[in-house]
Each structure stands twice: as C-alpha cells, then as structure tokens.
A and B are shown apart, each in its own frame.
Chain A
Amino acid sequence: MLTLHCPYCGTDADETDLHAGGQAHLKRYGPGSSDDQFEDYMFMRENPKGVHFERWRHVYGCGKWFLAARCTATLEVFGTYPAQTTEPPPDLRAKISAKRPGWTWGDFA
C-alpha cells in the first residue's frame, strides 16, 4: 500500500486515508489568455513514466491538501511538501536528481 507523509500532521498516512487529486503545479491562466493556454490548463496533463508531481488530500486525517513527488514506474515516493507553493522545493529536486539524473517534468528539472 502506498504510504505518504502528511507534511501538516507529520504522520505517515496509508493510501486508504488519502485521496488522489491529480497533477500538481497546474498553471492557471486569467482573462485574455488564449484558447491554447486554456486547453492546456483544463485538459492537458503530464503523464510521465517516471518522476511525477501530484496533489493529495489527507481525507481521513487533517483534511488538507499537500503535494507529493513520486515515480510512476516504481511507485517510489521521493517526498511530500505543503501545497502553498508554485514549485517543488530545491532540496526535494536535488534528492530526485540524485536518484533520477536528468529528470524533467513540465517546466521543472
């Protein structure tokens, strides 16, 4: 069973305590944006076989949303971090680079 560390509660939560919320770091476009940008935000999704960033909610815990970095090919969890950020923290990116050299995801690397 997938186990993720809730950055708010400070506890490890089982998959059954969590709800998956899809891709993280979606860039939202405001008024005046193009159809392409809206399509990108609304429908297009990162779907990598490897490093992936996604949203999770600690439903049967604190109820809060957090973000996680995970490998979709091995189910290895690299780390979790609070949702109040627009990009993965540098220390987590360094940790992923040590394990998956050369990884890229969206605009991040």
Chain B
Amino acid sequence: MKRYSAFAIAKEAFRQHTGWTRAWANPAPRAKYDVIIVGAGGHGLATAYYLGKNFGITNVAILEKGWLGGGNTGRNTTIIRSNYLQDPSAAIYEKSRSLYETMSQDLNYNVMFSPRGVIMLAQTQHEIRGYKRTAHANALQGVKTEWIGPEKVKELCPIMNIDGPRYPVLGGLWQARGGTARHDAVAWGYARACSDMGMHVIQQCEVTAIRRDGGRVVGVDTTKGAIDCDKLGLVVAGHSGVMAQMAGFRLPIESVALQALVSEPIKPCMDVVVMANTVHGYMSQSDKGEMVIGGGTDGYNNYTQRGSFHHIEETVRALIETFPMIARLKMLRQWGGIVDVTGDRSPILSKTPVDGVFVNCGWGTGGFKAIPGSGWAMAELMAKGASPLTDEFSMFRFREGKFIDESVAAGVAH
C-alpha cells in the first residue's frame, strides 16, 4: 500500500500523479477462507479490519452484492454521538466515538472526522426530564455530555428560533465531542486497510445460500461460485432477515425505509449538529454547504430503498419552525436506506443457533456512528467467542426479557 501523506502528494506532483496505485485490490474469490464476512458496508469492513489488526486473522473475505459502502453506509446523515442512556449502549457507542477520533491516523485515510458537537433539543417538559436523566447517566458512564439552557443553545446555533409558537426550545443535551465524518471515506479507508492486510474485498458477489453440515456452517454459495469458510459473519443491515432465513433461523427484526435529504449548498451558517426529536427532524451542514436533513421511518416493511414522499414534507415542515431561514431553501436530493429495526431499538451482536455463524445487525436508524465500535466488538466476538462489549447484545436477550430499551429512553432519534 502506498502511504498517503503531504510528502507523497508533493512527490507525485513532480510526475503528473502517475505513481498512485489502486486503493484496494479486486480479486477473484478463493475456494476457502477462515472467515467470510457478508456485507462490505462500514460495519462489515470494520469487523474484518479489527479481526486482522487485533487478532491477526487475515485469511478473510468480505462479500458484497452491490458495491463497497453502497448501502446504508452511503445513505446516512453521518452523525456521530454516544449520549445513550443504558450502560451497554453507552459503552459500545462511546468506544466507537473514541475510535473515530483517531481513525484517520489509524487507517492513513482522511475520514474528515469533525467533532463539531451535537445538540439534542428538548422541546417538551418530558424531554427536559429525559435529557437531564441521560446527562446524569452519561456522567456515571464516563461519557462527556451536559445539560444546557436555551440561551446556550442559541449561542451555539444562532440560526435557531428558540421561541417557536408550538415547540419552543427549552434546552438541550450537548455532547461537544460528537460530530460528523465523511461516510464514504470510512468504507473506503477500511477497505484499503483490509486489502493491504491481504484480505479479499469481493464486490458484486451476492450470497445465495448458506451451507451447513450438522448444525455448523461450512460455506456459502454465491453468484461467483461456492466458497467454504470456518466462520461466517452476517453484517448486512436491512437484509439481515433474508440472510437469517438462508441460515435457518429467525430474527426479531423488521426492515423499514429511512429517508434523508440535502438542500442546495449555502454559505456556512451552522457549525453544530442539531437533533429535534419531538418534531422528528435533524440537521447539520456539510463541508460543501448543503443542509443535511434526516427524517423519519415509514411504519411498514420495505426493501425498495425509497420512502414515502409525505415524510419529507413532515420533516421539513417541522424543522422550519425551529429554523425559519431554511423556509426558502430548495431541496436538492432525497434518498432512502433500508434499516433493520429490533423490538428494543438496540442492535444485535451475537452468536446464532448455527455454529460458526455470527450476526451483527439491528443498528436500525443509527448505525453510522457505531461503525468502528461495532467492528471492534464483533471482531472480538468472532475471534474469541465472547466480548464484554457484545455480551448484552445477544439475539437471545428478548426471550430472557433483558432488553436494552433505548426506544423509551428518549436518548435516540427514533
């Protein structure tokens, strides 16, 4: 791998940039790997990367039916935060946020991590209580967040109207070390690092069947032929239910469409991320100047990667009261991703009823922020059979009633 640096750019400038090599290889699959990861999105690539980096397992293939990072990794609003209420959530999301801080140096790839700060607005009395509770919980968990009043919110984000007629801003939960990163770069950086360790990132290779022998996985059938493996990691987000069906078990997951949109680019006007959960919209400004807006999910199962149009209207309508200046802004693009939602709105990182098959899914509407932590924990789970970060996130927690209930904890957007 050719290292990226200021010196490398200067050197290439003298020879018309002819010395750059491919960032990752495009190999044909071998007959057998130690580990196969299905899904070359952020979570799948991060899992492979930490398998190699932390455990020295490099005979790994990452299979992707589409293209690298072409699913939800390239379809989110790039927000990174770790202000969750429950201890297991705070542990894995904070691990993730801390790994984002050093990711560019670690991968030698600029992921443009921007710790610009995240405010979650309180616009009802219930939210005030909820966020103060979260702030106290975070203090115990070692996650730096604080409760701030409306004046401080206005100071951090002057374009906000804090005296809206219906939902005035009553304060907020502020995480100064949250922020955003370049989503594609996260996938590309991990892919480059994986390829450099000798792993195979195989695109346009769809898994069509999972072969088992006596309750143990032996390999997969793909559109590029059969491939054997000792361990199989299913990291496919929206299609987790489809993969589970192939492996012969069920998951407590439903797949729905989640939408986002961006406006035309405007001059810098907002240097924080704002989430308004009561009205169900969140907004930040990209480096290109576009206002990046996230909306709600549709309430029904959907695999089409497009959502209902009326949700866009609802989201923008809700945000206009709090951000009056965006009322005349033209929206440029809208897109949808298929998110896998569990009953308690917390992810599943788990062994499965099939020996050798591990599943990492259920990140629902907030997976991007978790990519490095998820990969770190999943790699440990696959290499050692257990991980302190994943113990609570077993797929069997539902039957035992051990929920990690973030859906009523007012700590998340959905």
Chain A positions near chain B (C-beta within 8 angstroms): 1-2, 15-16, 19-20, 22-23, 35-36, 38-40, 42-45, 47-49, 52, 54, 70, 72-75
A72-B302 contact, Cβ under 8 Å, with A45-B254, A47-B255: yes
CA separation between A45 and B303, bound complex, in Å?
15
> In whole angstroms, how far apart are the Cα atoms of A43 and B300 in the complex?
16
Contacts of A16 in B (CB 8 A): 310
Option from B239, B300, B310 in Cβ contact (under 8 Å) with A54: B300
The listed residue (A19, A39, A49) touching B303 by CB distance below 8 A is A49
A20 contacts which of B241, B251, B300 (Cβ < 8 Å)?
B300
Q: Given the known inter-chain contacts A1-B310, A2-B308, A73-B303, please indicate yes or no for A42 contacting B398, CB distance below 8 A.
A: yes
Quick one: which of A40, A44, A73 contacts B304, CB cutoff 8 A?
A73
Give every chain A residue within 8 A of B308 (Cβ-Cβ).
1-2, 15
Distance of A39 Cα from B343 Cα, bound (Å): 12
- Taking the complex as formed, is B266 at the interface, i.e. its CB lies under 8 A from any CB of chain A? no
Contact A15 B304, beta carbon cutoff 8 Å: no
A22:B399 contact, CB within 8 angstroms? no
B204 neighbours in A (Cβ, 8 Å): none
Are the C-beta atoms of B399 and A43 separated by less than 8 Å? yes
Shortest distance from the beta carbon of B234 to any chain A beta carbon, whole Å: 14
- Identify the interface centre among B251, B300, B304: most chain A CB within 10 Å of its CB: B300
Chain B: interface size category: 20 to 34
Check: B299 CB closer than 8 A to any chain A CB: yes
Total CB contacts across the A-B interface at under 8 A: 63
A74 touches B399 (CB 8 A): no
Q: Which residues of B contact A43 (CB under 8 A)?
A: 252, 343, 398-399
B302 with A75: CB separation less than 8 A: yes
**Taking the nearest CB of chain A, how far is it from the CB of B246, in angstroms?**
11
CB distance from A73 to the nearest CB of B (A): 5
Which residue of A has the minimal Cβ distance to B249? A44
Can you pick out 17 interface pairs between chain A and chain B where the beta carbons lie within 8 Å of each other? A2-B308, A15-B308, A20-B298, A22-B254, A44-B251, A45-B250, A45-B254, A47-B240, A47-B241, A47-B251, A47-B255, A47-B301, A49-B239, A49-B242, A52-B301, A72-B255, A72-B303
Task: Known A-B contacts: A49-B255, A75-B302. Give 10 more (CB < 8 A).
Answer: A2-B300, A16-B310, A22-B254, A38-B399, A42-B398, A43-B398, A44-B252, A48-B301, A49-B242, A52-B301
B300 touches A35 (CB 8 A): no
Are B252 and A1 closer than 8 Å at their CB atoms?
Answer: no
Q: Once the chains bind, are A39 and B398 in contact (CB under 8 Å)?
A: yes
Q: Please encode chain B, from 268 to 306, with 1 for each CB lying within 8 Å of some chain A CB and 0 for all others.
A: 000000000000000000000000000000111111100
Q: How far is the CA of A44 from the CA of B240 in the complex (A)?
A: 13
Cβ contact within 8 Å between A44 and B250 = yes
Q: How far is the CA of A49 from the CA of B251 in the complex (A)?
A: 14
- Please name all residues of chain B whose beta carbon is closer than 8 Å to the beta carbon of A20 when the two chains form the complex: 298-300
List the B side residues contacting A75 at CB < 8 Å: 302, 304
**One of A1, A38, A45 near B309 (C-beta < 8 A):** A1
Q: How far is the CA of A22 from the CA of B301 in the complex (A)?
A: 8
Residue of B with least CB distance to A15 = B308
Which of A39, A40, A45 counts the most chain B CB atoms within 10 A?
A: A45
The contact of B253 among A38, A39, A47, A72, by CB within 8 Å, is: A47
Taking CB as reference atom, which chain A residue is nearest B245? A48
Q: Which residue of B lies closest to A74 (CB)?
A: B304
A54-B300, A54-B301 known; A39 and B251 CB under 8 Å?
Answer: no
Taking a contact as CB atoms under 8 Å apart, the answer to whether B253 and A45 are in contact is yes
Return chain A residues, CB-CB under 8 Å to B299.
Answer: 19-20
